[in-house]
Structure 1
Amino acid sequence: MLESNLQAVNNDVKVLLKDAQALLASAASLTGDKAEEARNRGMRLLEAALSKAQDAQTSAIAAGKQMATSADDYVKENPWRAISVAATAGVLVGMLCSRK
């Protein structure tokens, strides 16, 4: 779920940035009120993209903290199981490294 939300935000930011780039490129040839209007619209698009990126970063940090807390709680409740999983992973990594 988190991954799909981040992907959606990433796509939205890309679209906003492309729109802003196109708008600013076309504004280069305009003068007067139209140029000012185009620049203002471009700045609003860039600010919206920045806001979405910051929101995505905030939600990713919150989700990361929640996962770390969950993992910490699990290890505290099941220390022997966590040790056995870590040992198994270590053995597997060791076997893979020794093959090369």
Structure 2
Amino acid sequence: MALFHAAPKDKLVADLKKVMADVDELMRSVGSQAGGELQEHLGARLKDVRRQVEELEQDVVEQARAAARVTNEYVREHPWTSVGVAACVGMVIGALLARR
């Protein structure tokens, strides 16, 4: 189940990294115009956000690894079922591609 939630989290991580890069650029461009206290506050908040994004990214990676482990265990325990499912999925994909 964790595998199905990885894609939205990956997109969220990527989007947050873009926002952080934009904020970094904004802080550099504002530079001395902003008061030292404001820059310090924004820097601290940005550091917190970076830490949270890194934690989210680690969570996504761990969930993907867990999903891979579970899938690997299932395939090892049920090899013929896995082959059958893969064959059916391949047939469905082939049929859909053949329609085009």
TM-score, length basis structure 1:
0.70
TM-superposed CA distance for 1:93, in Å, is 0.8
Task: Report the counterpart of residue 72 of structure 2 in structure 1.
Answer: 72
Unpaired stretches in structure 2, ≥5 consecutive residues? none
Separation of aligned partners in 2, 1:70 and 1:61: 14
Unpaired stretches in structure 1, ≥5 consecutive residues? none
Separation of aligned partners in 1, 2:33 and 2:61: 42
Describe how 1:73-88 pairs up with structure 2 within 5 A.
73-88=73-88
TM-superposed CA distance for 1:28, in Å, is 5.8
Task: Report the counterpart of residue 96 of structure 2 in structure 1.
Answer: 96
Task: Report the counterpart of residue 50 of structure 2 in structure 1.
Answer: 50
TM-superposed CA distance for 1:59, in Å, is 0.6
Separation of aligned partners in 1, 2:32 and 2:87: 62
TM-superposed CA distance for 1:29, in Å, is 4.1
TM-superposed CA distance for 1:81, in Å, is 0.4
Letter in 2 for 1:73: E
Work out the number of aligned pairs and report it: 87
Over the aligned positions, Cα root-mean-square deviation in angstroms equals: 3.0
TM-score, length basis structure 2:
0.70
Q: Percent identity?
A: 20
The higher relative CO (CA closer than 8 Å, separation ≥ 6) is in 2
